[in-house]
Amino acid sequence: MKNLNWLKILLFAVSVGLAVYFYPKLPAEVPSHWNAQGEVDGHAPKFWGLFLIPIIMIVLSGIFALIPQIDPLKNNISQFRKHYDRFVIVLLIFLLFVQAQIIVVGLGHNDAPNKLLPIGLGMFFYFVGILCLHSKRNWFVGIRTPWTLSSDIVWEKTNTLGGNLFKISGILIFLSSWATSFSGFVLAAPLIVTALVSVVYSYVIFKKVGASNLSEDVK
């Protein structure tokens, strides 16, 4: 845990270092939004374009540190805390990918979204899948539907299926970085399918399990 805290600090320091180093090298405005074809369609002042990522890192680190303390089912989170803490690290690394994309495109390399974004997103959603596979019922992380939150059995089965689907989606998104043309559909389609299948599956399993097997602590 302490080593991971130091890693968080290191990733934050890297993000701040990148912002400081590239600040004088970038134009007054930097890319801040891309359309479905990977083309820049929005800009922001370079201060916010560069330093917003470190700020988000601090905020998200604080939120994820708070969740295990305030979740009504925090004892369940403690059962997969190792994977939970590792996921936070992956999230911070993903934010570095976003910052790198802003910097690289701001420097004039307009094909960067085709490469950096799929790699970062693919890695991120692969680890979302790992987190789902190891998660126990809670109110903040994992595949949370009215049916998974009502039953440990439904939670486990749904997050097992959804976790594997997220891992497959992550791999597909990662491989799309080698595609010759960029399309937001390539990134979104696997995630939409995963979300829809997981929600429907949680309801189907809930109906099969029946009310008699609902977790005692949510009756």
> How much of the chain exceeds pLDDT 70, in percent?
85
Mean pLDDT of the chain: 87
N-term to C-term CA, the chain: 34
The CA distance from 198 to 144, in Å, is 10
User: What's the pLDDT score for residue 216?
Assistant: 45
Alpha-carbon span 154 to 213, nearest angstrom: 10
User: What is the pLDDT, as a whole number, of residue 117?
Assistant: 78
Cα–chain center distance at 217? 29
Name the pLDDT band for 2 (thresholds 50, 70, 90).
low
Cβ atoms within 10 Å of 16's Cβ, excluding its own: 16
User: How many whole angstroms separate alpha carbon 138 and alpha carbon 59?
Assistant: 21
Q: Kindly state the average pLDDT of the residues 42-66.
A: 92
Above 70 in pLDDT, residue 155? yes
% of the chain beyond a pLDDT of 90: 62
Range of the domain at 39: 2-218
Round to whole Å and give the CA distance between 79 and 61. 20
**Per-residue model confidence as pLDDT tens digits over 64-95:** 999 999 999 999 999 999 999 999 999 999 99
pLDDT for residue 176: 80
Residues 47/30, Cβ–Cβ less than 8 Å: no
Most confident of 10-14, 31-35, 178-182: 10-14
Q: Give the integer Cα–Cα distance in Å for 9 and 132.
A: 25
**With contact defined as beta carbons under 8 Å apart, do 141 and 67 qualify?**
yes
Task: Tell me the whole-structure pTM to 2 decimals.
Answer: 0.86
- Total tally of structural domains belonging to the chain: 1
What single DSSP character describes residue 109? -
CA 74-54-189 angle, to 5 degrees, is 70
Higher pLDDT, 200 or 183: 200
